[in-house]
Chain A
Amino acid sequence: MTLGQLASKNRMGLLFMLPSLSLLVVFFLFPLTQVLYMSFQDWNVMGSSTWEGINNYIKALGSGEFWLSLWNTFIYTVIVTPLIFVPAILLAVMLKKTTFRTEVMRVVIFIPFTISFVSASYIWSWIYNDTYGILNFLLSKIDLISRPVNWLGETWRARVMISIMVAWKTLGFSMLIFISGLQSISQEIYEAADIDGASRIQTLFLITIPILRPTIFLALVISIAGSFKAFDQFFIMTNGGPMRTTQTIVMYINKIAFENYDMGTGSAVSVLFLILLLSISYQQIRMGGYTGE
């Protein structure tokens, strides 16, 4: 290949990349530097700005609402993660063999993953409804509750009930990841364990879960990062109430930036949020894994 041909091949390669490269620069790299820059500025309504130094960060870190939102997001992550993972692992073990029946069941369990958080939140708000909800009706039918419960009106209850909705919606995804992990485990190991007389529970905890550990860890990182980004379900099911105790960090950014128009502090919180998320995602890069969620 001559030098001229090589140069034209390089040009062609760059030409092919140009559309995605432009999007990368305009809507990703530029905003990324911009959010950092804006976090050191004070922006007023007229669009002009003044240098603020680290004042926005001091303001953000000194605000009780920032810490409350961070805490709410953290607590939600702690509640929702086991609610997703325990059933997902159990279902994966149950459905790992590929037959017509298990394939149908996998698809059925995955269906909630395909619907929007908005629809899912409304569907479950209707189930949880304190006056007309079917949950109160069913629970009172079997005498578990004596009078209607306001499921989304109290902080801890709301956190748990929203987490149940999210587990229902997303565990199908984790389950599929585990199934593909399980299917890569050689059958001989199980046969050997069977010969040694291992029980099913022993096999699960001593063989399956240890071998699956990298897959579980990767799915955990993806799921935790997702929980920290929570917005839709809280925005719709509680709108942050009662008393902002279910307001997540992204809701807080949305509120100070687009309701109070404090772009400087909003940017500072965004940068802090970014650093937090990158330190979680860094684990994902280290594992070399990559998926769509």
Chain B
Amino acid sequence: MNKRHSFYKLLIALPALLLSLLFLAPIAWSLISSIKHTADILKYPPILFPKNITLEQYIKLFRAGDGVFLLFIRNTIIMTTFTISLVLIISVLASYAFVSLPFKGSNFIFILILSIFMVPFQALLIPLYSILNKLRLLDTKVGMVLVYSTFFMPFCIFMFRNYFSGIPVSIRESARLDGASELTILLKFYLPLSLPAVATIVVYLFLETWNDFVLSLIFSSSNNVKNIQVGIMNFGRQRFQSDWGIINSGSIFSLLPTIIIFLMLQKYYIQGMTAGASKE
């Protein structure tokens, strides 16, 4: 009976298993294509399991245009790091103030910050362009980080505020009686109790910034500022025949860090992302 039971279980599991493999197949095909020799990529019928694998496409990717792709990666790492740091600092500070230092009108400010989420930044590309231009921040990494931070901070402030409101008031009251400053209370009590929220937000900000395309496309024009996504698009938009070797290796290179970071922190990220939606 036990044997029949496990056979039945396998029968149920099989379609589901195949289905989840189907979700990885497109990425796998791109990966396979990226480790073929140039001559093998443009073969029809396609070679499903190449016998000779090579890093040729990745070498081509990093050599193209005097190593411009490395520069794009460097830009993206810098902008992502600074956006994550800046948003973490400002949203932790603001959320703490919303929860434990409220004043008349602070709730209104909170609603204004949340309203950033309702307004698509795609509708503000033109005024943002002109403001960045006036501030001499157009086509600079600083300008990009500030724009990213503005549009990605509402989710983080929302998240931290929720987390902080769950922390007992008695903690900060007794700390205040002991003469602790507000910053000390935040750093010594509130932040350590909110590490899952920090993990969720790090993944969220990493994905949003690393994967951004439209903001980088419109607000950056020099190779010192363009991000990795715009870089891949530049390779994809060659005037003549597209180089699918470079396009595939570039795409794989761009998705590896996001998948790794997600897998490392997926428990917190999934919990944090779905918590807001299932309140109902």
**Chain A residues within an 8 Å CB radius of B146:** 23, 26-27
**Chain A residues within an 8 Å CB radius of B21:** 108
B214 interface hit (Cβ, 8 Å) = yes
B126 and A287 form a contact (CB under 8 A): no
In the docked arrangement, what's the CA distance between A23 and B247, Å?
36
B196 interface hit (Cβ, 8 Å) = no
Min CB distance, B259 to chain A, in Å? 6
B207 interface hit (Cβ, 8 Å) = yes
A245-263 CB contacts (< 8 Å) to partner B: 250, 253-254, 257-258, 263
In the docked arrangement, what's the CA distance between A257 and B219, Å?
13
Contact pattern, A 261-293, Cβ under 8 Å of B = 1, otherwise 0: 001001100110110011001101101111111
**Chain B residues within an 8 Å CB radius of A186:** none
B128 and A111 form a contact (CB under 8 A): no
**Chain A residues within an 8 Å CB radius of B278:** 177, 180-181, 184, 215
A44 interface hit (Cβ, 8 Å) = no
B131-176 CB contacts (< 8 Å) to partner A: 131, 146-147, 149-151, 153, 155, 157-158
Contact pattern, A 22-34, Cβ under 8 Å of B = 1, otherwise 0: 0110111111101
A157 interface hit (Cβ, 8 Å) = no
A19 and B93 form a contact (CB under 8 A): yes
Min CB distance, B29 to chain A, in Å? 6
In the docked arrangement, what's the CA distance between A291 and B23, Å?
24
A236 interface hit (Cβ, 8 Å) = yes
Min CB distance, A164 to chain B, in Å? 10
A23 and B20 form a contact (CB under 8 A): no
B56 interface hit (Cβ, 8 Å) = no
B214 and A250 form a contact (CB under 8 A): yes
Given contacts A115-B258, A115-B259, A281-B118, whether A34 and B276 have CB atoms under 8 Å apart is no
**Chain A residues within an 8 Å CB radius of B274:** 176-177, 179-180, 291
B67-113 CB contacts (< 8 Å) to partner A: 89-91, 93-94, 96-98, 101-103, 106, 109, 112-113
A134, A176, A288: which contacts B270 (Cβ < 8 A)? A176
In the docked arrangement, what's the CA distance between A29 and B263, Å?
36
B277 and A291 form a contact (CB under 8 A): yes
Contact pattern, B 31-49, Cβ under 8 Å of A = 1, otherwise 0: 0010000000111111010
B176-233 CB contacts (< 8 Å) to partner A: 182, 204, 207, 210-211, 213-214, 218, 229, 232-233
B122 interface hit (Cβ, 8 Å) = yes
Interface of B is mostly: helix
In the docked arrangement, what's the CA distance between A263 and B124, Å?
12
A274 and B26 form a contact (CB under 8 A): no
A150 interface hit (Cβ, 8 Å) = no
A109 interface hit (Cβ, 8 Å) = yes
Closest residue of A by beta carbon distance from B280: A214
**Chain B residues within an 8 Å CB radius of A12:** 97, 101, 182
Closest residue of A by beta carbon distance from B17: A105
A218 and B277 form a contact (CB under 8 A): yes
Count A-B contacts at CB 8 Å: 290
B248 interface hit (Cβ, 8 Å) = yes
B65 interface hit (Cβ, 8 Å) = no
In the docked arrangement, what's the CA distance between A38 and B90, Å?
30
Closest residue of A by beta carbon distance from B158: A290
In the docked arrangement, what's the CA distance between A72 and B182, Å?
52
Interface stretch (choices A60-68, A76-84, A117-125, A196-204): A117-125
A288 and B123 form a contact (CB under 8 A): no
A20 and B26 form a contact (CB under 8 A): no
In the docked arrangement, what's the CA distance between A287 and B19, Å?
33
A38 and B127 form a contact (CB under 8 A): yes
Given contacts A34-B131, A184-B278, A270-B125, whether A13 and B97 have CB atoms under 8 Å apart is yes
A277 and B29 form a contact (CB under 8 A): no
In the docked arrangement, what's the CA distance between A105 and B22, Å?
11
Given contacts A114-B259, A168-B23, A250-B122, whether A30 and B127 have CB atoms under 8 Å apart is yes
Given contacts A119-B254, A132-B46, whether A34 and B130 have CB atoms under 8 Å apart is yes
Min CB distance, B251 to chain A, in Å? 4
B20 and A110 form a contact (CB under 8 A): no
Give the 4 A-B CB pairs with smallest separation, nearest first.
A13-B101, A116-B211, A16-B97, A34-B127
- For this complex, 5 residue pairs linking A to B, each with C-beta atoms less than 8 Å apart, are A32-B127, A114-B259, A115-B27, A176-B273, A263-B126
New contact pairs (20) apart from A23-B149, A132-B244, A292-B273, CB-CB < 8 Å: A23-B150, A23-B153, A26-B131, A30-B131, A34-B130, A91-B19, A105-B19, A107-B266, A118-B229, A119-B232, A122-B232, A123-B26, A126-B248, A137-B44, A137-B46, A177-B278, A180-B278, A181-B278, A288-B280, A289-B277
